[in-house]
Chain A
Amino acid sequence: MRRKAWFVVAVTVQVAALLIMIGIKWSTLAYGTKIILKTVPVDPWDVFRGDYITLNYEVSTLDLKRVNSGNEKFKPNDTVYITLVPDGKYRAAAAVSHRRPESGKLFMKGVINYYDEFSNNININYGIDSFYVPQHQGKDIENNGRISLEAEVSVDSRGNSALSKLFVDGKEIKFE
């Protein structure tokens, strides 16, 4: 039965795709360096509104006058690497570049959302700016505007990052 064999292949492709999706994030979570990033919630606009909190990290928006950019030109959809340095208990961006920093340094990979010529700012998406929460609970956290929000993020040696925990006023958000 050739159809059966091909069917097994087709379904395996789908399951494998999902497993790869999990595997990439899982390896970053398991083997990456854990860091704490300062963040604020932003009002999300989405069909699943309220089902996740959109996070805006301090390292998401970089002022090119303050961060070392080596006079490189940036445009939307460019892949960039930011070098992280300790800043109290948090990590802050020290440099941004199209080139991957040498190994040994801690850095994160992201894609430029937009470049604001006027303020000389760039906004970077690291793929960790959504924290999913049970239905309707996201709004409570977002509406509470003056809270301090911190995220625990794992960063692996190639700059991939994964969001693991979110802390409100120092307390971890848990739904389990």
Chain B
Amino acid sequence: MNKTGIPPGKNLTWLDREVEEWKSEGVISAEQAEAILKRYKNRQELEQGGQLVTVLAVIGALLLGIGVILFFAANWQAIPKWVKVSLIMGSIIVSYTAGFYFAFAKNNYPRVGRSLVFLGSILYGSGIWLIAQIFHISSHYPNGVLMWGLGIIPVAFVCGSLSILIEASILLTIWTVMEQTGFLHYNWLFPFFASVLVYLAYRLKSPLGVGLTIPGFVLWLALSCLVSMKTSEGTSFLFTFLLISVVGLLVYAIGVLHSVRDRTSVMKLPWQIVGLLSILISFFILSFRFLVHEGMLDHGSFKISAFYLLAFSLMTISSIMSLFYCYKINKQERLPVLEPLLLLGITGVVVFLGGIMYSWQETWFVAAVNVALFFIIIAVIAVGYRTRQPILVNLGLGFFVLDVIARYFDFFWDMLDKSVFFMVGGLLLLLGGTVLERNRRKVLREMRVNDYAA
């Protein structure tokens, strides 16, 4: 990999702060401070230009790949079988070879070269599809996606390519969705393959790579749950959403575990986001009365599966255990213990909700979910503010707005005249939005100021 020594944006913010302190402590003079900052600011601008090249090159590779597929598709009948096969193989090999030459062998156009390698991985995938066409192969369709996703992982490892990693994790997620929804089985191979991708994302030190691979796990577990409960679909969906919130807890807890060490703290963010989104989205869906009503209609034939109970208890126990571990570490270092406490609270709520749901008290369940969702949102914002994590504040506020809109529809849709309904709603949104945005900015600004003061 080409190490340019250019610090990413976060380090620059850190440097800004440090240089300010060095100046105030008299370690360096004002001119020196300016010279240091200028040195890195220039580099940052250079880096941003480079990122633009990467984005352009990746889009270019994608377009070229699509073009090649369309060319083949349009001129299919005119080309003999063996020419088609050689064209496919040739384009894959040429794209990879040129990419390797520019990015690694000569290293003169690293970004363009890497995009060509990415193009190679797309051409390989289209090759699978085109060969299936030539030989009229149609057996077990998810295998094609699997073959594509698995086949490009070695290249991602050798080239340290984030774009191919993301491609592979999207493909494998599509694969498990196809397998599990189309053929109704647990697909135990998926967690194994996805772990390889998570490992690679850590090797590449890419929070984005981690963040795009974990949702696959959440989805896989949710689908496995649905597969395990074959009876009464609606009720299974309700229980699955409850399970997703517990999975979210565990994912979030793993994120909090990352903050224990400085070295791993960069990777806290993707786990936090995926975890929180899983919790909030599943609660949000369960907060609609009509959905819960539909889901509970056929609960008579519902049987909870052993798989579900096992997954639910394992998730709950392991998130509580990791929280206690964080709590212990945090106590010694006097870091805020708010996050673990928040999660502990949500765990309690989820278990409680599971209890009400299993006694089929529809009204109580929806009421409890709504109260819980509201308090969780407030708690997320509060914890985000106290522990200075803008992501929590932003996510919390986002779901606050969603929740308000959803409840407005719930309560007033039947009560008000439709014109009044929309006018009042629009006005509330405009006013509320302005107030909220002002406060959000204020909160974030304060957080930054406090950060400097600390």
Instruction: Assess A3 versus B104: contact at CB under 8 Å? Given A18-B88, A22-B131, A111-B140.
Output: yes
Q: How far is the CA of A74 from the CA of B97 in the complex (A)?
A: 49
Distance (Å) between the CB of B421 and the closest chain A CB? 38
Q: How far is the CA of A162 from the CA of B131 in the complex (A)?
A: 13
Number of interface residues of B (CB under 8 A): 40
Q: How far is the CA of A128 from the CA of B135 in the complex (A)?
A: 9
Using CB atoms, name the residue of chain B closest to A6.
Answer: B158
Distance (Å) between the CB of A54 and the closest chain B CB? 8
Binds A, one of B72-80, B217-225, B359-367, B374-382: B72-80
Number of interface residues of A (CB under 8 A): 38
Partner of B93, one of A11, A29, A162: A11
Using CB atoms, name the residue of chain A closest to B152.
Answer: A14
Residues in chain B near residue A4, CB distance under 8 A: 100, 104-105
Residues in chain A near residue B73, CB distance under 8 A: 51, 135
The residues of A with any CB-CB pair to B shorter than 8 Å are: 1, 3-4, 6-7, 9-11, 13-15, 17-19, 21-22, 25-26, 29, 51-52, 76-77, 111, 125-132, 134-135, 162-163, 175-176
The residues of B with any CB-CB pair to A shorter than 8 Å are: 73-74, 76-78, 80, 85, 88-89, 92-93, 96, 100, 104-105, 120, 124, 127-128, 131-140, 147, 151-152, 154-155, 157-159, 183-185
Distance (Å) between the CB of B312 and the closest chain A CB? 27
**What DSSP secondary structure best describes chain B's contact surface?**
helix
Distance (Å) between the CB of A174 and the closest chain B CB? 9
Partner of A132, one of B104, B120, B133, B139: B133
Distance (Å) between the CB of A168 and the closest chain B CB? 16
Using CB atoms, name the residue of chain A closest to B129.
Answer: A48
Q: How far is the CA of A176 from the CA of B96 in the complex (A)?
A: 31
Q: Is the CB of B137 within 8 A of A25?
A: yes
Q: Is the CB of A14 within 8 A of B138?
A: no
Distance (Å) between the CB of A31 and the closest chain B CB? 15
Q: Is the CB of B136 within 8 A of A22?
A: no
Q: Is the CB of A18 within 8 A of B104?
A: no
Partner of B131, one of A1, A21, A134: A21
Q: Is the CB of B74 within 8 A of A135?
A: yes
Given contacts A175-B76, A175-B77, 13 further A-B contacts (CB under 8 A): A4-B100, A9-B158, A10-B154, A10-B158, A11-B92, A13-B151, A13-B154, A14-B152, A22-B85, A25-B135, A77-B185, A125-B138, A176-B78
Distance (Å) between the CB of A90 and the closest chain B CB? 19
Using CB atoms, name the residue of chain B closest to A129.
Answer: B138
13 A-B pairs in the complex with CB atoms less than 8 angstroms apart: A14-B124, A15-B92, A17-B147, A17-B151, A22-B131, A125-B140, A127-B138, A130-B136, A130-B138, A134-B77, A135-B74, A162-B135, A176-B77
Residues in chain B near residue A18, CB distance under 8 A: 88-89, 92, 124, 127-128, 131
